[in-house]
Amino acid sequence: MGTTTVERLARKGTTDLQNRRVAGLFALVLVLLTAAVLSLAVGARALSPAEVWEGLLGAPDPDRRLTEIRLIVRTVRVPRTVLAVVAGIALGVGGALIQGYTRNPIADTGLLGVNSGASFAVVTVIAVFGFVNPFQYVWFAFLGAAVSGVVVFGLASMGRGAGNPLTLALAGQGVTVFLAAMTTAVALSDKASLNALRFWNAGSVAGVGFDVIRPVTAFIGAGLLLALTTLPAVNLLNLGDDVARGLGVNVALVRTTGIISITLLAGAATAACGPVAFLGLMVAHVARYLTGPDYRWLVPYAGLLGAIVLLVCDIVGRVLVRPGELDAGVVVALLGAPFFAFLVWRGKFRSA
C-alpha cells in the first residue's frame, strides 16, 4: 500500500513537471510573438498597431504615407525581425548543445572557433576580391565558420586526449587565438576589410535581406533536425562517456553529429549577422534553471529564449541612442558580460 502511494505521488510529480514545462513553452511563444510585433512597430519612426497591419497586409495605395509605411515594414523591419528570431534560435540551441557535449557550463558556440573562422573569411574575401555586399561574403563567412569547426573537432579527436571535452575546449581556444591574429593582420593591411570588419563584428540583424535569410534558414533548419535526433543521447553523455557507452550510446557518432549540428547552427547565424557573444551562454543557463537538466526540454527552451533575447536587444538598441542605433550584438554583450561575472561569482560562492 505504501509503495503504491509513493508510485502515485511520483507519477503525479512527473505529470506536474511536464505540465509546467509545456505551459512554459507556450508562455515563451507568446512572449516571442509580442516581441516580434514590437520589433515591427519600434524604430526611428514609431508605428501604431494599425499602421503595422497596414504595412504588412495593405494593398497598393497612391497615398504616399501608406506607401512609406509599407516600405518600412516589409523591406526593413520584417527581414530584421525574421533574422533576429532565426539567428536567436540557432545561437540558443547551439549554446545549450555545446555545453551538453563538452560538459562545460561556461562553454559557448565560439568555443569551436566558429566566430573567429567567419571573421577571418570575411576580411580575407573583402581584401582579395573586394566583396562588400552581405550576399557576396555571407557564404564565405559560413564556409570559414564550418572549416574552423571541423579543424577544431579534428584536432580534439587526435592524440591521447581524443574525445575529451577539455581537449575540445583547448583546441577551440588555440584555433580561435590563431585566427583572431590572422584576422587582425589582414584587416590592418586593407582599409576596406577593416571598415567591413568593424561593422560586421558588432553583430547586427539590420541591413540583411531575404536573399541571405532564406538560405541561412535552410542551414539552420538542417542543424536543428540533427540536434533533435541527438537530444536523448546528450542526457546520457552528461553521465559520462563510460556510462553512456555502457547504456548503448555510440559516443563518437553522437558527438560527431552534435558538432556538425552546432557548426551548422552557429556558422549560419554568425555568417548572417556577425558574432553575437554570450547569447548562447546566457540562455542555456536560464533554460536549465527553468527546465532542469533534461536536454529534450532544455534545448527548445534555449532556442525560444535565444530568439526573445536577441529580438529584445535589437529593439532596445533602436531606442537607447535615438535617432541612431546600437547593434543587437553590442546590447547582448552589455547584458552578457555581467551575467558571465554573476556565474563566476555564484560558482565561487557555492564552492566557499
Q: What is the pLDDT of residue 350?
A: 44
- In the predicted structure, residue 48 carries a pLDDT above the cut 70: yes
Q: What's the mean pLDDT in 134-153?
A: 83
Most confident of 156-160, 197-201, 235-239: 235-239
Q: Quick check: 327 and 202 in contact, CB under 8 A?
A: yes
**Could you tell me how far CA 72 lies from the centroid of its own chain?**
26
- Greater model confidence, 165 or 191: 191
Task: Return the higher-pLDDT residue of 290 and 162.
Answer: 290
3-state secondary structure 197-263: HHHHCCCCCCCCCHHHHHHHHHHHHHHHHHHHHHHHHHHHHCCCHHHHHHCCCCHHHHHHHHHHHHH
pLDDT in the model for residue 113: 83
The pLDDT of residue 149 is 82
Question: CA-CA distances (angstroms) from residue 9 to 15, 21, 84, 284?
Answer: 10, 18, 42, 30
Distance, in Å, from the CA atom of 299 to the CA atom of 154, rounded to the nearest integer, reads 25
CA 243 to CA 238: how far, in whole Å?
9
| Mean pLDDT confidence for 202-220 | 88
Confidence of residue 352 (pLDDT cuts 50, 70, 90): very low
* Cell numbers linked to 157: 579527436
* CA-derived radius of gyration, the chain: 22
Q: What is the pTM of this model?
A: 0.88
Instruction: Look up residue 289 and give its amino acid.
Output: Y
pLDDT at 63 over 90: no
Mean pLDDT of 205-211: 87
pLDDT at res. 304? 97
Helix, strand, coil percentages for the chain (3-state, nearest 5): 80, 0, 20
- Cα angle 333-335-341, degrees, rounded to a multiple of 5: 95
More confident residue, 287 or 18: 287
Q: Work out the percent of the chain whose per-residue pLDDT is above 90.
A: 27
Domains of the chain by start residue, with CATH: 83-351 (1.10.3470.10)
- Average pLDDT for the chain: 84
Q: Does position 349 have pLDDT exceeding 50, yes or no?
A: no
Separation between Cα atoms, residue 120 and residue 179, nearest integer Å: 6
**Is 270 in a helix, a strand, or coil?**
helix
Cis amide bond preceding 323, omega within 30: yes
